Structure 1
């Protein structure tokens, strides 16, 4: 009996030894081909170079070579001849880290992210552009290791000082940074233990486990809200101050218009022109002009701030605008793409001021049928500024000297909207949480901003201008080559995600026709229209949006699914979006027959501005979450009615009716049973009594803990 046990043990041991040997041999073979990049090596040459003479080892080496071909690391040139597969062996992408230090690299063209073990992250920090070597091709995921940091995304971090005798560490607020930062005592600049500071990485020595940094600002003197907003911005890699050379250049910009420049433009200062914007807006990108022609038709101008006149390619302001890519709108502040001298003054289409603009002027009848389109540089004078609320009151019947014009534009906008929806555009009613702030910028009221007719009026005319600019540049023409351009594209939905959405809405008793992408948008529109006044409307609309692809900036035009446009771009907001500034330049070059300054490098611009758009959106979401926690901080212990708005392994999210803030009921805090998450049916169910919680369920909760630092509201169910 003991003899048999020993044999079994020996068998297992031999198996482990063989696997270990194969693993070691795989590493050696990989290193050999990496060292001889570009060479073609036969099986015999591999064995010779690795000094393998034993027959069993040579056989194992052949097996390793075949596996590396299957994994994509090697390419079989011919029978028993191999070379490094360069396209698969090394890749470039952007690194994201989770709270445990593991990484995921997003690589263009790869459907799935590449997993990076915490030990293989090297000197990379979350957000960096990195070069990786693929190390394992598993069935469920591909793994790799960072071999080089190509571009350091962030050098500044907000965190807390941990002071030691002769040195200190910064513990970043953002746990996804992946490392603490070593600070020599002489670089503390007076910072104390436990103090919140802003630190800049200065160097990362080859032999050091952590980067070295210095304190550049002590944040303890700022208000708590100010410190948290700076932390949110910095941890997303967003600069909250402009470099001095950019400010200096902006201050040279004058508000006065040049008479010689005016002569080169279409003068439209005598045409009725006005803006419609949020009541607290300071940067007015767009204006509309209205003129009744002698034949009864209308001339409607969409006038856009001419930022390209002031911001020249390659200038400090231009480089900084590309670096930022867009303005960021937090709850209590705007972090502009351009310095205030331009964004709020020189470029902004403020009332009762002459301004340079880039315009699209339409001649159309009263039903919106377009007879002519003109593109070009203009000079305008805004006669009046409307807030959305004022324009809405006029649409709803209030008397005003511009009532005729507002109502006519509203009528035409509704014609355009109806046409878009008939073609399959998604009918999404945007909802935005906003806060009314007191003099200390603390939230005192939650406001839900909804899109009304006045918003849709402006939206439709901006869509009209954007679409016509894209068609003018993008539509094929016999007498010109394709023009490098920035399109705003939105891909068709993944039907697998739509199936998940169908599982979700099934919880509410709804179904969706989804035989192909063409029917999906119309089916979603019909569903949302049917449930517009139901409690679950907001949640279902949010989930519908999540099931869609994300809109991006691309040189290759694939159309815009959500808007049902074949050609679409962004032209109407150059004060706050770099994409629009680039589009202005390209359009002007085409109108004046100048050589286009953008070529293949435009693709890198598209990637950067798409990436920065996502960062800005994440900062804005985190800002909202923070102010939600501040708003309910004095409401601990109070009870609220709410709706289950999300379900996950860790518990269920509940949106409270009274304040629209969202918190979580942890799974282990749900009373009466031991509950668990059922991923197949998207529900939480009790192990013993089988009680369940689903999306849209009405519940009563009590706030029992709030953490502004974690952006977290913890709730408990009230039985």
Structure 2
């Protein structure tokens, strides 16, 4: 069991406050005296600092400000004001209160923008910002130009008056309403949800002018709300006509001349394991015993590159989307269904083109040979995860020898990954069982079992070996640029915050370097697996890690403990995989890489950006169905756990239904509460009562709002 520690009181934050005050004072001095070059003794004298400890702190702060490029160390120990770049380009990210931050690539700190300085920018736009005030921890800026709109269309609810109308955006971070003249309504009615396009934004106007391009119907219907979520996140919910036309021309019949160019594996036993409702089968496994007694296991991936040619309308649309998006009640595919569900999909009892990674294992389960290439396969059997799990657990004997042997090998490779420092995260997904009219009637928690892990390990095996082959090459195939799936080492500041968080539960982790962190967290999670706080601690551990990205510079994958890793196994639903297929095929045929490095860099940025949008859309979809699930339970009381704290309240997950709501700060009774950022808790000003992440509390559902997709909660007494 992880070592428990006695709960500590709040950490003293006086030193941090002193440091922040000194930073502001020092920076203010240099800003007002930009030509002065001085050392820590001189600045200490200027600020009337005499004690040695505080002078040491001044010396440390000067070094930190130089590291942040706010000061310049002209000669050793002497500093001067570093005149900053006055303008930055980046993506603007609004808060619900109208302020914003400019996110600049490769810049550590975002730039704060007050509501009065956001200009004509809208959430997600690419803008140019001028620095108007420098700060020790945060610069402040003003929008001076909108370079590119993030969206072509905006969605919301219409408020129609006698002479004009406004569209009230669904997105709470959209800082303006849209003005629509009567002649631009195009038949839309008051209260309807509509899609609009900006036509103008005159100088001096508070709101952009817009026109209705499509009426989505009344708010509250699944179709209208899901389209709203997609549009808010900049995801197209329809394919252009030219892409649909190209998809409809795609034949599902295999060509004998093409088959002759490929390795024919149709007589090798092959099967798929997928969710029960899956239609786009990306991958299949094959299994056979070779004459030398070794095992040959094939990982066969849908050959999307055969159907989607570079530079075609379908290819351009796939890059634009970059991912399939999985909402609660529907899938928005990256490719039209003619390809994703039919032509490319490795459906049972059909011959299919595939791109395969085939591995030969010796009697010690070590890979002794690998082969990559274009193939044609025939899937003999389709298993759902539940059916495969029954075989693994001994409840079914169908193909038991093969599936149990694959499960055994997968567990060996998983154990090796964990031994080498891979993160051991047991994912849980909240799903909803919908009735015939699309309303949620049950919350289902999807837990990763051995059948899921079996498929995962063989996909990881293929992805890793493909990445190594492309990145390292061999005597016949020189290494070539590629898009890698990278995961950086964790930021130590975030890990320290995580340590502070788990102290609230009486736990601790110890490590001597970055490489020990994953092992320490794995041990903690394993020790507390059956404790009530396991889920919330695992969630916070994930949040403390860096985000995975698509990059051309290979820095490895920290979470998987792989030196080389890419995405090869899901080209139906991820554009990055399609790119890797094209690179690998060119390499095998000894042709030049079809992509230049600058193009690959742009593809990496686009796919990473759209992946984040897809995640947001999926999260918004879950929130909407959570609201739908509890809307008939207003006034009822539930036990919950605090899983998030902000300056405006605390988020609480109700244990019975796993739905999340907000207890607003100003609604907490009995005191005037405030958010203590240093200790990450909510504290009562008079009586000192506090709320921490992980606390068990009782809440009552006060109100739900389907448009905002929010659940408002209030504290209450426990149910007897």
User: What is aligned with 1:236?
Assistant: 233
Q: For residues 571 and 290 of structure 1, what CA distance do their matches in structure 2 show?
A: 20
- Map residues 319-358 of structure 1 onto 2, 5 A cutoff: 319-358=316-355
* Alpha-carbon displacement from aligned partner over 1:357-410 (angstroms, at most 9, x marks no partner): 111000112543001000001111111111101100100002333111100100
CA deviation after TM superposition for structure 1 residue 602, in Å: 1.2
CA deviation after TM superposition for structure 1 residue 204, in Å: 4.2
- Map residues 117-136 of structure 1 onto 2, 5 A cutoff: 117-136=114-133
User: What is aligned with 1:39?
Assistant: none
Q: Which moved more, 1:531-540 or 1:194-203?
A: 194-203
Secondary structure at the aligned position of 1:601 is classed as helix
- Map residues 481-520 of structure 1 onto 2, 5 A cutoff: 483-520=480-517
User: What is aligned with 1:360?
Assistant: 357
Q: Pick the aligned partner of 1:615 from 613, 616, 627.
A: 613
Secondary structure at the aligned position of 2:217 is classed as coil
CA deviation after TM superposition for structure 1 residue 483, in Å: 2.0
* Alpha-carbon displacement from aligned partner over 1:483-524 (angstroms, at most 9, x marks no partner): 221000000011111111011111111110133211110000
Secondary structure at the aligned position of 1:632 is classed as helix
CA deviation after TM superposition for structure 1 residue 477, in Å: 6.0
CA change 1:195–1:571 in 2 (3 A) is same
- The gaps in structure 1 that reach 5 residues or longer are 1-18, 27-68, 78-84
CA change 1:105–1:284 in 2 (3 A) is same
Q: Is the 8 A contact 1:368 1:416 kept in 2?
A: no
CA deviation after TM superposition for structure 1 residue 478, in Å: 7.7
2:101 aligned with 1:104: yes
CA change 1:590–1:86 in 2 (3 A) is farther
CA deviation after TM superposition for structure 1 residue 635, in Å: 1.2
CA deviation after TM superposition for structure 1 residue 712, in Å: 1.8
CA deviation after TM superposition for structure 1 residue 109, in Å: 1.1
Q: Pick the aligned partner of 1:374 from 364, 371, 374.
A: 371
User: What is aligned with 1:602?
Assistant: 600
Q: Is the 8 A contact 1:305 1:575 kept in 2?
A: yes
- Map residues 650-689 of structure 1 onto 2, 5 A cutoff: 650-689=648-687
User: What is aligned with 1:696?
Assistant: 694
User: What is aligned with 1:301?
Assistant: 298
Q: Pick the aligned partner of 1:153 from 150, 155, 168.
A: 150
Q: Which moved more, 1:625-634 or 1:155-164?
A: 155-164
Q: Pick the aligned partner of 1:270 from 267, 277, 288.
A: 267
* Alpha-carbon displacement from aligned partner over 1:150-199 (angstroms, at most 9, x marks no partner): 33220111112233444322221113233322323222111123322111
User: What is aligned with 1:581?
Assistant: 578
Q: Is the 8 A contact 1:366 1:408 kept in 2?
A: no
2:625 aligned with 1:627: yes
User: What is aligned with 1:713?
Assistant: 711
User: What is aligned with 2:386?
Assistant: 389
Q: Which moved more, 1:202-211 or 1:707-716?
A: 202-211
Q: Is the 8 A contact 1:203 1:213 kept in 2?
A: yes
User: What is aligned with 2:528?
Assistant: 531
- TM-score (structure 1 length as normaliser): 0.86
Q: Pick the aligned partner of 2:424 from 424, 427, 430.
A: 427
Q: Pick the aligned partner of 2:411 from 402, 411, 414.
A: 414
Q: Which moved more, 1:261-270 or 1:161-170?
A: 161-170
User: What is aligned with 1:644?
Assistant: 642
CA deviation after TM superposition for structure 1 residue 594, in Å: 1.4
CA change 1:70–1:119 in 2 (3 A) is farther
Q: Is the 8 A contact 1:366 1:412 kept in 2?
A: no
CA change 1:481–1:377 in 2 (3 A) is closer
CA deviation after TM superposition for structure 1 residue 476, in Å: 6.3
- The gaps in structure 2 that reach 5 residues or longer are 1-27, 35-65, 75-81
User: What is aligned with 2:249?
Assistant: 252
2:178 aligned with 1:181: yes
Q: For residues 297 and 88 of structure 1, what CA distance do their matches in structure 2 show?
A: 63
2:116 aligned with 1:116: no
2:515 aligned with 1:522: no
Q: For residues 366 and 576 of structure 2, what CA distance do their matches in structure 1 show?
A: 29
CA change 1:646–1:263 in 2 (3 A) is same
Q: For residues 358 and 473 of structure 2, what CA distance do their matches in structure 1 show?
A: 22
Secondary structure at the aligned position of 1:582 is classed as helix
Q: For residues 678 and 136 of structure 1, what CA distance do their matches in structure 2 show?
A: 26
Q: For residues 70 and 572 of structure 1, what CA distance do their matches in structure 2 show?
A: 41
Q: CA RMSD in A?
A: 2.6
User: What is aligned with 1:560?
Assistant: 557
Q: Is the 8 A contact 1:105 1:115 kept in 2?
A: yes
Q: Pick the aligned partner of 1:285 from 277, 282, 287.
A: 282
Secondary structure at the aligned position of 2:678 is classed as coil
CA deviation after TM superposition for structure 1 residue 70, in Å: 13
Q: Is the 8 A contact 1:367 1:412 kept in 2?
A: no
Q: For residues 95 and 221 of structure 2, what CA distance do their matches in structure 1 show?
A: 26
CA change 1:518–1:282 in 2 (3 A) is same
Secondary structure at the aligned position of 2:438 is classed as coil
* Alpha-carbon displacement from aligned partner over 1:239-262 (angstroms, at most 9, x marks no partner): 111111111111111111111111
- Map residues 64-213 of structure 1 onto 2, 5 A cutoff: 88-204=85-201, 209-213=206-210
User: Which fold has the larger relative contact order, with Cα–Cα distance below 8 Å and residues 6 or more apart in sequence?
Assistant: 2
2:184 aligned with 1:216: no
Q: Is the 8 A contact 2:469 2:479 kept in 1?
A: no
CA change 1:129–1:691 in 2 (3 A) is closer
- TM-score (structure 2 length as normaliser): 0.86
Q: For residues 340 and 124 of structure 2, what CA distance do their matches in structure 1 show?
A: 28
User: What is aligned with 2:47?
Assistant: none
CA change 1:514–1:496 in 2 (3 A) is farther
Q: For residues 666 and 222 of structure 1, what CA distance do their matches in structure 2 show?
A: 25
Q: Is the 8 A contact 2:682 2:690 kept in 1?
A: yes
Q: For residues 247 and 716 of structure 1, what CA distance do their matches in structure 2 show?
A: 49
Q: Which moved more, 1:586-595 or 1:526-535?
A: 586-595
Q: Is the 8 A contact 2:218 2:224 kept in 1?
A: no
CA deviation after TM superposition for structure 1 residue 295, in Å: 1.8
